[in-house]
Chain A
Amino acid sequence: MRASEDTLRALMISGLDGHAGDHSALLRALVPLLRGFYRRRMGDGDIDDLVQETLIAVHTRRGTYDRARPFTAWLFSIARYKMIDHFRRGRRLVPIEGLEEILITEGFEDAACARMDVEQLLEILPPKQARMIRATRIEGLSTAEAAEREDIGESDVKVSVHRGLKSLIVRIQGGGR
C-alpha cells in the first residue's frame, strides 16, 4: 500500500517542525516510491545508490519545500534532477538503445500521472458532480444516458457537470502554482 499525497505531506510538515519520528517515517515511506520511480525509468541498475542519494537530498534540502504546495511534485522534481545528474555523470555508460524505452516509460508515466491528477481533482468535488463529470466527460456517455443511468433529470446532469467543472477551473487557476 503506497502512502498518499496527504499522508506524505503531513509527515513532511511535521518533520519540518522538528518531529524526528515523522521525518524518519517519511523517509521510509519514500523508499518504495523512489524505487518504483527509478525502476520504471532505468531498469534494475544501480537504483539503490540513487534512492539513497535522493533521500539525502530530500533531507538536506527540505527547506525548499513550500508547505502550501503538493509534496509529491516537489519530491519527484528532486528525483528527476538526481536521475538526470546521474546520467550526466556516467554519460558514456548510458546505452543509446535504452533511450527509446526511457521515452516510452516517460510517456506512460505522464499518462498515468494525468489520470491520477484527474482522479485527485475529482475527489475534491461533491460525489454527485464528480460522478456526472466522469460519466459525461471521461466515459463518454451522453447527457441523456447519464441521466438515465443515475435516474435523474437531464438538466440535473447538465447543472452538476457545469458546477463541477466551474469549481475545478477555480481550483486549478487559484489553488495551483
Chain B
Amino acid sequence: MNTDDLIFRLSADLAPVRRHAVARRLAIGLAMGALVSIFYVVVMMGVRPDIGVAMHGFPFWMKWGYTVSLSAVAIVMTAQLARPDSGRLRWLWLMAIPVLLLASVGIMELIRTPPGDWLAMWLGDSWMVCPWRVLALAMPIFVGLLWSFRKLAPTRLRAAGAAAGLAAGAFAATVYCVHCPEVSAIFVLTWYSLGILLAASLGALLGPRLLRW
C-alpha cells in the first residue's frame, strides 16, 4: 500500500488518547483478571470461615501487607516496561523491603517457637498446594495483563513478561489470602513467594512469544 494512503487511513476517525492511558489499560486488564480469580476463590475454594476474626489479627494483615506491597512494586515495574523507552528500571530494589520485613517477622517467630515445632510451622497444613494455587490464581490475571499489553509497546519482552507474571502472582496471592488460614511468616515467605516466583518465571518464559507486536 502507498504510504500516503496508509497515513490517510490511520488519521481518519482519530480517537483522542487520555493521559495515563498506560496505567488505565493495565488497571482494566488487571481488574478483569482479578475478578475471575476472586470469583474462583469465593465460589470454588470458599472464604475462610473465621475471616471476621482473622481480620482483627496480625497474621492476616502481615500476609496482605506482604502481597499487596509486592503487587504494587510489580505493577509499577510492569508499567515502566510497557513503554518502548523504558530505560533503567527504578524501584526494583523496593521489592526487597517487604521480603526483609517478613523475614524479620519470621526470625522473631522462630526465636519464640521451640525448635521442635519449627518444621510444622514452616510447612503448615497446605505447603504442598499453596504455591500451585497461587500460580493457578495468577493465570487469569496474567491473561488480563496480556490483553492490556496488546495496546502497549514493550521492547524488553522477557523483562516485561516477568514483571507481568510477578504482578499477576502477587495479586493472586493477595486474593488467596482470603481463603488461606496459614498464620506463620516463614510459611508465607517460602510458599507464597514460591508461587509468586513461579508465576514470574512463567511470565519470563512466555513473554518473548506472547508480547511480540
Q: Is the interface of B mostly helix, strand, loop or mixed?
A: loop
Q: List, in ascending order, chain B residues with CB within 8 A of A19's CB.
A: 14
Q: List, in ascending order, chain B residues with CB within 8 A of A28's CB.
A: 4, 7
Question: With A and B bound together, what is the CA distance between A177 and B84 in angstroms?
Answer: 13
Question: With A and B bound together, what is the CA distance between A31 and B14 in angstroms?
Answer: 19
Query: CB-defined interface of B158-184 with A at 8 Å, one 1/0 digit per residue?
Result: 000000000000000000000000000
Question: With A and B bound together, what is the CA distance between A66 and B152 in angstroms?
Answer: 12
| Cβ contact within 8 Å between A27 and B84 | no
Q: Which of chain B's residues has its CB closest to A21's CB? A: B11
Q: List, in ascending order, chain A residues with CB within 8 A of B25's CB.
A: 63
Number of A-B residue pairs with CB-CB distance less than 8 Å in the complex they form: 83
| Cβ contact within 8 Å between B153 and A18 | no
Selected interface stretch from A52-60, A124-132, A138-146, A158-166: A52-60
Query: In this assembly, does B125 line the interface, its C-beta being within 8 Å of a C-beta of chain A?
Result: no
Query: In this assembly, does B12 line the interface, its C-beta being within 8 Å of a C-beta of chain A?
Result: yes
With most chain A CB atoms within 10 A of its CB, the pick from B11, B13, B212 is B11
Selected interface stretch from B16-24, B31-39, B59-67, B108-116: B16-24
With most chain A CB atoms within 10 A of its CB, the pick from B6, B7, B19, B155 is B7
Q: List, in ascending order, chain B residues with CB within 8 A of A65's CB.
A: 83
Residues of B in contact with A, size category: 20 to 34
| Cβ contact within 8 Å between A51 and B3 | yes
| Cβ contact within 8 Å between B212 and A64 | no
A77-B84, A78-B84 given as contacts; is B16 within 8 A of A57 (CB)? no
Question: With A and B bound together, what is the CA distance between A119 and B1 in angstroms?
Answer: 38
| Cβ contact within 8 Å between A55 and B85 | no
Number of A positions contacting B (CB below 8 A)? 36
What is the CB-to-nearest-CB distance from B15 to chain A, in angstroms, rounded to a whole number? 7
Query: In this assembly, does A172 line the interface, its C-beta being within 8 Å of a C-beta of chain B?
Result: no
| Cβ contact within 8 Å between B151 and A63 | yes
Q: Which of chain B's residues has its CB closest to A89's CB? A: B212
Question: With A and B bound together, what is the CA distance between A80 and B12 in angstroms?
Answer: 27
Q: List, in ascending order, chain B residues with CB within 8 A of A51's CB.
A: 3
| Cβ contact within 8 Å between A15 and B14 | yes
Question: With A and B bound together, what is the CA distance between A52 and B155 in angstroms?
Answer: 18
Query: In this assembly, does B93 line the interface, its C-beta being within 8 Å of a C-beta of chain A?
Result: no
Query: In this assembly, does B8 line the interface, its C-beta being within 8 Å of a C-beta of chain A?
Result: yes
What is the CB-to-nearest-CB distance from B116 to chain A, in angstroms, rounded to a whole number? 53
Question: With A and B bound together, what is the CA distance between A21 and B4 in angstroms?
Answer: 13
| Cβ contact within 8 Å between A77 and B85 | yes
What is the CB-to-nearest-CB distance from A11 to chain B, in angstroms, rounded to a whole number? 11
| Cβ contact within 8 Å between A59 and B10 | yes
| Cβ contact within 8 Å between A61 and B11 | no
| Cβ contact within 8 Å between B17 and A63 | yes
Q: List, in ascending order, chain A residues with CB within 8 A of B40's CB.
A: none
| Cβ contact within 8 Å between B84 and A52 | no
Q: List, in ascending order, chain A residues with CB within 8 A of B10's CB.
A: 23-24, 27, 55-56, 59
Q: List, in ascending order, chain B residues with CB within 8 A of A62's CB.
A: 17
Q: List, in ascending order, chain B residues with CB within 8 A of A15's CB.
A: 14
Query: In this assembly, does B87 line the interface, its C-beta being within 8 Å of a C-beta of chain A?
Result: yes
Q: List, in ascending order, chain B residues with CB within 8 A of A52's CB.
A: 1, 3, 6
Q: Which of chain A's residues has its CB closest to B152's CB? A: A64
Query: In this assembly, does A17 line the interface, its C-beta being within 8 Å of a C-beta of chain B?
Result: yes
A48-B3, A52-B6, A63-B17 given as contacts; is B11 within 8 A of A27 (CB)? yes
16 contacts between A and B (CB under 8 A): A19-B14, A20-B12, A23-B14, A24-B8, A24-B10, A27-B7, A28-B4, A31-B7, A52-B6, A55-B10, A64-B22, A64-B84, A64-B153, A74-B83, A74-B85, A78-B84
Which 3 residue pairs spanning A and B have beta carbons closest together? A18-B16, A63-B21, A77-B84
